[in-house]
Amino acid sequence: MIEFIAQESCIGCDKCYEVCPEDVFDSTGGGVPEIARLDDCTSCRQCALHCPEGAIFVALLNKPMENLDKQAIIAQGRTTSYAKWLGWDKGTPPPGDRSGSHYDYKHRLEEKKGGGKPPDPADRVRRMLYEAKERNLI
């Protein structure tokens, strides 16, 4: 789930509020959005991917992290590491992306799935991803 918004980095653009599919945030009208419905967070990381300031940290846990060291996480670049792994720079699609960030997200996902080739039938997760892609669900 979302662990924190780095208040010192946030510019109040409300992008996280706009993209969150679970309506976790409340807008504060130009300030740092409020994490108002933490229990609804599914750790999808869309907020962290789209934040232009890399101010959001999401952990793949279903409860808040214990002994969370916010400053260490920021210093280690972990607020932007997932975006960089996908090839985004702080949520910005790379140059040459023709169709916007959603296209790029799908493109990167496709790469991770093995370039669109049918996966090993025994690999259940990759097979489900492949089938979902084939049905244009992702």
- Contact range with ligand SF4 by CB under 6 A, out of 43-51, 66-74, 102-110, 123-131: 43-51
At residue 102, what is the residue type? Answer: H
Q: Where are the alpha helices (DSSP H) in the chain?
A: 15-19, 46-50, 70-75, 81-86, 101-113, 124-134
Rounded Cα–Cα distance for residues 110 and 102 (Å) = 12
Please return the burial class of 51, using the count of CB atoms within 10 Å of its CB with bins 0-12, 13-18 and 19+: buried
* Residue 35 C-beta: closest distance to ligand SF4, Å: 7
Residue corresponding to tokens 């049905």: 135
* Residue 80 C-beta: closest distance to ligand SF4, Å: 11
Q: Does 83 bind ligand SF4 (CB under 6 A)?
A: no
- Contact range with ligand SF4 by CB under 6 A, out of 38-46, 68-76, 92-100, 106-114: 38-46
Q: Which is nearer to ligand SF4, 56 or 86 (CB)?
A: 56
| Chain residues that interact with ligand SF4, rule: CB under 6 A | 2, 5, 10-16, 20, 22, 24, 33, 41-47, 51-53, 55-56, 58
